[in-house]
A and B are shown apart, each in its own frame.
Chain A
Amino acid sequence: MSATLIVVIAGLAAIGTYLVTSRLLSRIVLGFALFGHAAVLALVAAGGEDGAPPLADRSTADEMSNPVPQALALTAIVISFGLTLFLLALARRQQQLTGDDLVEDDIEDRRIAAPAIDADGDHLIGYAVAPGARDATIENRSST
C-alpha cells in the first residue's frame, strides 16, 4: 500500500462527502460516484503488497497480489453502478415534478418548528409557514 494511494482515497472521500452535502441531486450523484471510488480503492489497498495479476496460468501463488479484496471491489462496483442509476432516475422524477432537482425541506418539520416565535415576532428556530401548509402536507401524505 503506497502513500499516494492513501492520499488519493482521502481526497476522493473528502470531495465526495462535500458534494453529497449539496442540495442538488445531480451533485449528490457525482459525490456518491467519487465516494464510491474511494471505498473501492480502499478495498484494493486493503489487499496489501502489490504483485502480479492473480491469474492461475500467468503467475505463481507467492508472486500474485491478493485476489480476495479485488473480488470484493468488483462486487461493490456493480452495486454502486446500479444505485447511481436509481439516484439519477429519482433526480429525473423530481425534475419532472418541480422543474428542478433540489432536495426540499420536510414541510412537517417546518410546521412543528413554526410556533417558536418570540414576542417581537422574530423566529427563534425554523421558518415561517404559509397558511394552508398543513393541508398541503396532508395531501402529500395521504397515500394509502
Chain B
Amino acid sequence: MTTLVGLAVGIPLVAAMLALLLRTAARWRDVVTLGSLVGLTGIATTLLVHVRAEGTVVLRVGGWDPELGIVLVADAFAVLVLLAAVLTITIVEVFAIGQRRSAMGADPTVVGPMLLVLTGGVSLSILTGDLFTLFVGFELMLVASYVLLTHQGRAGQVRAGMTYVVMNLFASTLFLIGVAIVYAATGTVNMALLAERVPDLSDGVRLGIGLWFLVVFGTKAAMFPLFSWLPDSYPTAPTTITAVFAGLLTKIGVYVMIRFHTLTDMDALGPLILVIAGLTMIVGVAGALAQDDVKRILSFHIVSQIGYMLMGLGLFTVAGVAGAVLFLVHQIPVKTVLFLVGGLIEVDRGTSALDRVSGMIASRPGVAVLFALPALSLAGLPPFSGFVAKLALVDAGIDDVAIAIVVVALVGSLLTLLSMVKIWIGVFWGAPDDGERRLVPATSWRTMTTAAATAVGVTLAVAVLSGPLWEMSERAATELLDKEPYVTEVMSG
C-alpha cells in the first residue's frame, strides 16, 4: 500500500516526461496520457477502499526519520479529495482529446504533458505531510498552470497570464517566508510535529502564523478580498484548461487551509474565517450577476463557492469541517462539468456571450440537459450533490448557533440559482439565434458530450453515495480536529 502512495505522485510525473518525448506521435502520446490517468484513478480508488477499511497509510520517502525527511500521508481526507481530483482530470483529458480532433483545442503537444505535471503537483500537495513539500507541490501545480494558460500566446492570454503569474508568485514567496517563520518558531516543517508544537507557542506567534498562512492559502484559494486575479485570468484560457483550473487549483488551496488550520489548532481564527466566508459568498455571486458571458459568470461562481468551504472550516466543529470536506468533494466535479458545458456551447457557436447565443434547447437539447443538472446542483437544490453538501453545512451552522452565516449562505444559494437561470434564459431558452454554426466532426462532438455526460454522472454519484461519503467526511473531520491519530500514525508509521 505504501508503494501505491508513492506511485500516486510518481506515475503522472514519469508519464509527463514520456508524453513530452512522444510529443509528435499523437496516438502514443494520448495512450500514455490517458493510460496513466486511468491507472492513477485506479490507484486512488484502491487507496480509498484500503484507508476506509484499514486506516491511514504513511510512506517515508527514502526511509528518513519524519523529522528530517519527506513523508506522504494518505488519510481519509487526502484519499477522498485525491480520488475526486484524478477522476475529474481523467474526464477532462478525454474531453480534450475529443476537442483536439475537431482542430480547435489548445496545442495538444502541450496540454497532455502539462496536465500530467499538474496532476503530479495536485497529488503531491494532497498527500504531503510537511509544509515545504507542500510548497514544492504547489509550485509544480502552478508552473503547469502558467504554461497551460499562456502557451497559445494570444494577446488576451498573455495579459491575463501576467496578472495570474505575478499574483501567484507573490503568494508563493510569502509562503516560503512563512515556512521560514514556522521553522524558526518550532524547528520543524513536518505537519505532525507542528500539530504538537504550534499550540504550545505564545499566542502572538501562533496567531501570526495562522494569519500568515490564511493570507497565503487564501490567495491561492481565491477567498475575499484576494480573489480579483481569478475572474480576470480564467476565462481567457481554452475551455478544457479553464475546466481543470476551476475544478482543482482553488480547491487545493482550500484543502491545505483546512488541513493546516485544523492541525495547528487555529480555533481562535474561526470568527474571522466565518466573516471572510460570508463576504466571499456574497461578493462572488454579486460579481457573477453583473456578467454577461457564460465563462465569466462561472468564474465568479468559483469564488462564491469557496465561501461555503471556508464556512465549514470557520465553525471548527466536527460537523462543520465534515461539511466542508463533503462540499469540496462535490465541488470538484460540478465546477469542471459546468465549464465543459460552457466549452460545448463555444464549440457549437463560437462564443459564449449571453446576448449572442439563444435557443440552444431546440438545436442541442442534450447540452441543455447536461447544463441543467450540474447548475441545479451548484445552486443546492435537492436531490443533487450540492443540496446534500449545503444541508450538511447549514446543519452544522445551526448546531453551532452561527445563524448569521447560515442566513448568508442561503441568500447566496438563491442568488446562485438566479444567475444559473440567467444563463439558462440567455443561452438555451427563447428563439434560436441565426448565428452561424460551426461544423464539428461528429466523432469529436460525441467524445466531448460523452466526457461531459460522464462528469455529470460523477456529480450524480456523489449525491447517490452521499451516505458513505458523509461517513468518510465525518471520519476525516474527526481525525483532523482530534490530531492524535494523525500524529501517532506519522511518527510511528
A residues contacting B by CB (< 8 A) are 1, 13, 20, 25, 28, 32, 35-36, 38-40, 42-43, 45-48, 68-69, 72, 75-76, 79-80, 82-83, 86-87, 90, 93-94, 97-98, 103-104, 106, 108-109, 112, 138, 140-144
Contacts of A144 on B, CB cut-off 8 Å?
99, 104-105, 238-239, 343, 346-347, 350
Asked if B143 and A46 sit within 8 Å, CB to CB, the answer is no
Asked if B177 and A42 sit within 8 Å, CB to CB, the answer is yes
Cβ-based interface call for B153 (8 A) = yes
With the chains together, A79 CA to B351 CA distance in Å? 38
Q: Does more than half of chain B's interface fall in helix, strand or loop, or is it mixed?
A: helix
New A-B contacts (15) at CB < 8 Å, excluding given A35-B170, A90-B161, A140-B236 = A25-B162, A39-B177, A45-B180, A46-B184, A69-B180, A86-B147, A90-B150, A90-B165, A103-B166, A106-B232, A108-B232, A140-B154, A141-B156, A143-B152, A144-B99
Q: With A143-B152, A143-B157 in contact, do A90 and B162 touch (Cβ < 8 Å)?
A: yes
> Which stretch in B75-83, B290-298, B305-313 binds the other chain?
B290-298
CB distance from B271 to the nearest CB of A (A): 29
Q: Does more than half of chain A's interface fall in helix, strand or loop, or is it mixed?
A: helix
Cβ-based interface call for B429 (8 A) = no
Cβ-based interface call for B6 (8 A) = no
CB distance from B292 to the nearest CB of A (A): 9
CB distance from A21 to the nearest CB of B (A): 10
Contacts of A108 on B, CB cut-off 8 Å?
232, 296
Contacts of A47 on B, CB cut-off 8 Å?
183
Asked if A87 and B68 sit within 8 Å, CB to CB, the answer is no
With the chains together, A94 CA to B182 CA distance in Å? 38
Asked if A38 and B177 sit within 8 Å, CB to CB, the answer is yes
Asked if A39 and B173 sit within 8 Å, CB to CB, the answer is yes
CB distance from B293 to the nearest CB of A (A): 7
CB distance from B435 to the nearest CB of A (A): 12
1/0 contact string of B157-185 vs chain A (CB within 8 Å): 11111110110011001001101110110
Q: With A97-B155, A98-B155, A140-B155 in contact, do A39 and B143 touch (Cβ < 8 Å)?
A: no
Asked if A143 and B238 sit within 8 Å, CB to CB, the answer is yes
With the chains together, A47 CA to B180 CA distance in Å? 9
Which residues of B in the span 180-206 have a Cβ within 8 Å of any Cβ on A?
A: 180-181, 183-184, 189
With the chains together, A103 CA to B232 CA distance in Å? 13
B residues contacting A by CB (< 8 A) are 68, 99, 104-105, 132, 135-136, 139, 143, 146-147, 150, 152-163, 165-166, 169-170, 173, 176-177, 179-181, 183-184, 189, 232, 235-239, 290-291, 293, 295-296, 343, 346-347, 350-351, 353
With the chains together, A47 CA to B182 CA distance in Å? 11
Asked if B180 and A43 sit within 8 Å, CB to CB, the answer is yes
11 contacts between A and B (CB under 8 A): A32-B169, A36-B176, A40-B176, A42-B176, A46-B180, A47-B183, A72-B179, A83-B139, A87-B165, A112-B290, A142-B351
Name the one of B136, B161, B183 contacting A79, with C-beta atoms under 8 angstroms. Answer: B136
Asked if A72 and B132 sit within 8 Å, CB to CB, the answer is yes
Give the nearest-CB partner of B140 in chain A: A79
9 pairs of A and B residues whose beta carbons are closest in the complex: A140-B156, A42-B180, A46-B184, A39-B176, A46-B183, A46-B180, A144-B346, A43-B180, A106-B232
Asked if B232 and A109 sit within 8 Å, CB to CB, the answer is yes
Contacts of B157 on A, CB cut-off 8 Å?
143
Contacts of A40 on B, CB cut-off 8 Å?
176
Give the nearest-CB partner of A68 in chain B: B68
With the chains together, A93 CA to B244 CA distance in Å? 25
